């Protein structure tokens, strides 16, 4: 049973933590599952991620960001996501194309039509069955990151991160059936349970559809 589940959200929202929680829960239920992340997930993608997020002293235009993130994304789709889905595994991905839409589109101001065109080319038609949006205020999210070194995106001003948050909420409102929006200020255990209940429902629906 192949499902594609993505986690989205601003800085400090808990995406990686909750992706790991879901991976553990599904493994305990003996559901074939594979977890990955963006940007990265392949040797090429990891190099692109390091360069874009941590390289100092180099100016990167918003359009260059868009193209490089999608180069890494296409590699992940081609080498990891598509093969694992074909093998019948559920894929859990920490960030996917929606991150580019909000960070480079709403955040940086790249034309959304251009963003979507490039995203569509990179993803090769693969879309999530469910996108979990962990929503948290910018102030609360950034306060969770204070003890960690800040990358290029985390160093952006509050206005940038607020545009990112509002971009996510707009995307979720446009396709409510495909998104699960959760207040990420709740406890880790509460958030994990909400996610599992939705995923379990999705699994049941998938099984029923395959039997029909």
Considering its fold, how many domains does the chain have in total? 1
Number of neighbours of residue 78 by Cβ within 10 angstroms:
13
- Where residue 200 falls among pLDDT bands split at 50, 70, 90? very high
- Domain range for residue 132? 4-211
Per DSSP, 89 falls in state P
* Per-residue confidence (pLDDT) for residue 97, from 0 to 100: 98
Number of neighbours of residue 183 by Cβ within 10 angstroms:
12
The CATH number given to whatever domain includes residue 197 is 3.40.50.300
Distance CA 203, CA 145 (A): 33
Strand partners, 95: none
Half-sphere exposure of 109 (CA within 13 A, CB side): 3
Tell me the pLDDT of the chain averaged across its residues.
Answer: 94
* Per-residue confidence (pLDDT) for residue 207, from 0 to 100: 79
Please tell me the total number of residues recorded for the chain in this structure. Answer: 212
Q: Quick check: 26 pLDDT over 90?
A: yes
Mean pLDDT of 153-173: 96
User: pLDDT tens across 94-144, in order?
Assistant: 999 999 999 999 999 999 999 999 999 999 999 999 999 999 999 999 888
**Among 175, 209, 181, 177, which residue's Cα sits nearest to residue 195?**
181
Strand partners, 36: 93
């Amino acid at each position: 049973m192949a499902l594609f589940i993505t986690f989205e959200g601003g800085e400090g929202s808990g995406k990686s933590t909750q992706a790991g929680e879901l991976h553990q829960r599904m493994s305990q239920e003996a559901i074939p599952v594979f977890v990955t992340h963006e940007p990265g997930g392949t040797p090429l993608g990891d190099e692109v991620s390091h360069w874009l997020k941590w390289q100092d002293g180099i100016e990167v235009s918003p359009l260059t960001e868009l193209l490089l993130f999608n180069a890494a994304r296409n590699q992940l789709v081609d080498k990891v996501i598509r093969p694992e889905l074909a093998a019948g595994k559920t894929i859990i991905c920490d960030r996917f194309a929606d991150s580019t839409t909000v960070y480079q589109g709403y955040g940086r101001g790249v034309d959304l039509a251009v963003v979507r065109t490039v995203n569509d080319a990179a993803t090769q038609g693969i879309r999530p069955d469910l996108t979990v949006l962990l929503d948290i205020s910018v102030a609360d999210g950034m306060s969770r990151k204070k003890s960690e070194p800040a990358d290029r995106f985390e160093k952006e001003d509050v206005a940038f991160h607020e545009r990112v948050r509002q971009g996510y909420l707009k995307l979720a409102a446009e396709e409510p059936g495909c998104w699960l929006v959760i207040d990420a200020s709740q406890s880790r255990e509460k958030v994990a349970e909400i996610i599992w209940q939705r995923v379990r429902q999705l699994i049941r629906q998938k099984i029923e559809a395959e039997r029909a």
